Homo-oligomer: A and B are copies of this chain.
Amino acid sequence: MNIYDIAKLAGVSIATVSRVVNDSPRVSEKTKQKVRAVMEENDYTPNVFARGLGLDSMKTIGIICPDVSDTYMARAVSFLEHRLREYGYDCILYCSGYQQEKKENAVELILKKRIDALILVGSTYAGHSEEDDGADYIREAAKKTPVFLINGKITGENVYSVYSTDEDAAYSAVSGMIESGRKRILYLSDSHSYSANKKLEGYERALREHGLPVLGELKLYAKNQVHYVRDILLARRALVFDAVFATDDGMAVGTVKYAHARGLKIPEDLSIIGYNNSELSVCCEPELTTVDNTGEKLCNMTVDNMMKVLNGEEVSQEIPVKCILVKRCTTDF
């Protein structure tokens, strides 16, 4: 059942049917009714491929994230999908993994789908250092379609970044711990991504501004898995620390487990702050103090921005969003 069939049945031309489909004003109400009736009756649906071919768009946005099974990204994808759908867009999802090669491959493949825009979720896409950010493939992609980063920053034509101010958040979280008497604060992270580095900067600045030394032994990298973190900490008996700032709740919960295993009291003996304010943060005992980086806000702003860009409006290429420290029971300030 195509536009010709409908035209024939309604006794009009395909042009008129097309106009009705697109609700053009220059069709008489009478013929509109007539054509609509025929369409209903035969439950006709315009062929999206044909339409796509003509308009060079299928109203589809590509979303790439390293791993949707990660809570943070799953939530982000959920927010994005909802907001995009409100605007009438569909989502193609691609989970790229964390390796540079796979990320480049993902971008390349998804671009072939002629998406209207591309969203990259997670700071892994923002590269490592400021100089060589390894993000040229993204700038290249931006020549074909607008690119939107969630929680990462890349400068370039046609690329837009919305990110949370992790440096600030880390600074004030760590400052809080220092001001409540902590002297040896462990920085616990699972990555060297853009946002992880920002958190590290905030951590170090807090130490420096409070006159504490920045020690290499107090920076620990691990997998973001509860038991993994617990065990790695248990294995380093010699390492002394009275507080932990983790860049993800999973690692913070691992630290809670470690404290239990060693009989340490939280927060008296060990103060802990997580990141992301995920479900996990209210599962452990005591419940985690954690940084909420307002994923929903980031996502909604990104989509709203995108719609403006697609409409040809001017838009800021860089939007920082403030984090919120959610105080629960693993800190005493």
Binding site for B on A (CB under 8 A): 45, 47-50, 52-53, 56, 58, 60, 63, 67-71, 74-75, 77-79, 81-82, 85, 90-95, 110-114, 226-227, 250, 253, 256-257, 260, 279-280, 282-285
> Which secondary structure characterizes the binding site on chain A?
helix
Contacts of A284 in B (CB 8 A): 283-285
The answer to whether A91 and B92 touch across the interface, beta carbons within 8 angstroms, is: yes
Contacts of A74 in B (CB 8 A): 68-71, 74
A112 and B82 contact, Cβ closer than 8 Å, known pairs A52-B52, A280-B283 = no
The answer to whether B78 and A69 touch across the interface, beta carbons within 8 angstroms, is: yes
Give the docked Cα–Cα distance between A90 and B227 (Å). Answer: 34
Taking the closest CB of chain B, its distance from the CB of A58, in whole angstroms, is 7
Closest to A260 in B: B285
6 contacts between A and B (CB under 8 A): A49-B52, A49-B114, A68-B68, A81-B93, A90-B92, A91-B93
From the candidates B70, B79, B253, B283, name the one contacting A226 in the complex (CB within 8 A): B283
Q: Which of A45, A58, A69, A257 has the most CB of B within 10 A?
A: A69
Given A69-B71, A81-B95, 8 other A-B residues pairs in contact with their CB atoms under 8 A? A49-B52, A52-B52, A69-B74, A71-B74, A74-B74, A78-B95, A92-B93, A279-B280
Contacts of A60 in B (CB 8 A): 92
Contacts of A70 in B (CB 8 A): 74
A68 and B81 contact, Cβ closer than 8 Å, known pairs A92-B91, A226-B279, A226-B282 = yes
Contacts of A280 in B (CB 8 A): 279-280, 283
Give the docked Cα–Cα distance between A70 and B253 (Å). Answer: 19
Contacts of A92 in B (CB 8 A): 60, 90-93
Closest to A284 in B: B283
Taking the closest CB of chain B, its distance from the CB of A6, in whole angstroms, is 16
From the candidates B82, B93, B111, B250, name the one contacting A77 in the complex (CB within 8 A): B93
Contacts of A253 in B (CB 8 A): 283
The answer to whether B47 and A114 touch across the interface, beta carbons within 8 angstroms, is: yes
The answer to whether B82 and A78 touch across the interface, beta carbons within 8 angstroms, is: no
Contacts of A67 in B (CB 8 A): 78
Give the docked Cα–Cα distance between A162 and B66 (Å). Answer: 27
A279 and B250 contact, Cβ closer than 8 Å, known pairs A49-B53, A74-B69, A74-B74 = yes
Contacts of A112 in B (CB 8 A): 45, 48
